[in-house]
Amino acid sequence: MPRFRKIFCPVDFSEHSIRAYQLALSVASHYGARLLVQHVVELWRYPCADFAPSPELMEGFYRTLRERGEEKLQQLVQTCAYNEVRTESVVQGKSAPDYILAFAEDQNVDLIVMGTHGRRGFNKLMLGSVTERVMRNASCPVLTVNKRSHDFIGSDQRLGPVHLSRVLFCTDLSESSRQALDHAISLTTEYEAELTLMHVLEDTPAPPKVHDAVATAIERLDGLIPPETHKAGKVETKTTVRIGKPYQQIIQLAMEAQTDLVIMAVRGRGTLDLAVFGSTTYRVIQFGPCPVLVVST
């Protein structure tokens, strides 16, 4: 069963990233993991500094930016830290997504937790340039957090640990989704949460065959849970099959069940284009009611 031993949470001090930090703290606490927290000061956003009267003034401006970022990061860490979770802060001047990806690879992190700034509207499938680039290229799972209707993560930075009670694992029943299922079982075991396995029949069978198609899918879902998981008794599992557009059905069930976390698998690092990734995963992240864990397989 996979375990998160090193968790990485980049923050930009927005509401979304603070909520992501709260969730990262919770996961780190449950796993006894090391938590790395980082803020990237992107110097290219301040071109006026290039016209400073002297190199000394330009360097002083850059230093002030870094110091302010470091101060805010330390305040966040001190305000939100609990249960002796170890935190580290880094302020850098490189492009945020480039540095985040390089840092994650260099530190060999097991999980990246990020806030998203997704635009609303199906013609603008964007999660924010930083989050989007990280999700397309990260070699480890990425957990995205946005402001949702089911607000189990509070806006008060002084709140205690976030608890996950209901986890929804969405699968196309392919072999490649088993790695994501392992993470789902691991998280629900750590939180002693309820795990629902979901499959969506997108191509609606003819009416006489609907019952058989649903029954077959449920049987396959039931067969995904390892026997030792049932014997452990820490994970309560359910299975459900729905018919329709996958993203719509996933979002609807997550809202109905007040799901705390959706887990989805995507095939292949670097292949998260709009034709494949955007049609389902992007829209669940954008319009769903809770955080989404994306596992590349």
Higher pLDDT, 250 or 275: 250
Over residues 131-144, the pLDDT tens digits come to 878 888 899 999 99
Q: Both 218 and 89 in a single domain?
A: no
User: Residue 225 maps to which CATH number?
Assistant: 3.40.50.620
For residues 87-93, average pLDDT: 63
Last-in-domain residue among 92, 123, 154 = 154
* Averaged confidence pLDDT in the chain: 80
Higher pLDDT, 255 or 2: 255
Q: Both 75 and 18 in a single domain?
A: yes
Q: Both 145 and 227 in a single domain?
A: no
pLDDT confidence of residue 250:
97
pLDDT confidence of residue 266:
83
Question: How many domains are there within the chain?
Answer: 2
Higher pLDDT, 269 or 192: 192
Residue 5 belongs to domain spanning: 1-154
Over residues 45-65, the pLDDT tens digits come to 655 555 556 666 666 777 777
Last-in-domain residue among 105, 132, 154 = 154
pLDDT confidence of residue 92:
64
Q: Both 71 and 181 in a single domain?
A: no
Over residues 181-190, the pLDDT tens digits come to 999 999 999 9
110 confidence band (pLDDT: 50, 70, 90): very high
Q: Both 201 and 123 in a single domain?
A: no
State percent of the chain over pLDDT 90. 41
284-293-131-67 Cα dihedral, nearest 10 degrees: 140
Q: Both 108 and 47 in a single domain?
A: yes
Please return the burial class of 254, using the count of CB atoms within 10 Å of its CB with bins 0-12, 13-18 and 19+. Answer: buried
Last-in-domain residue among 154, 180, 197 = 154
Q: Both 142 and 118 in a single domain?
A: yes
Q: Both 178 and 133 in a single domain?
A: no
Q: Both 208 and 268 in a single domain?
A: yes
Rounded alpha-carbon distances, angstroms, from residue 283 to 37, 156, 244, 288:
27, 27, 15, 7
Place of tokens 């993991």: 33
Q: Both 254 and 234 in a single domain?
A: yes
pLDDT confidence of residue 280:
86
Look up the pTM and report it: 0.86
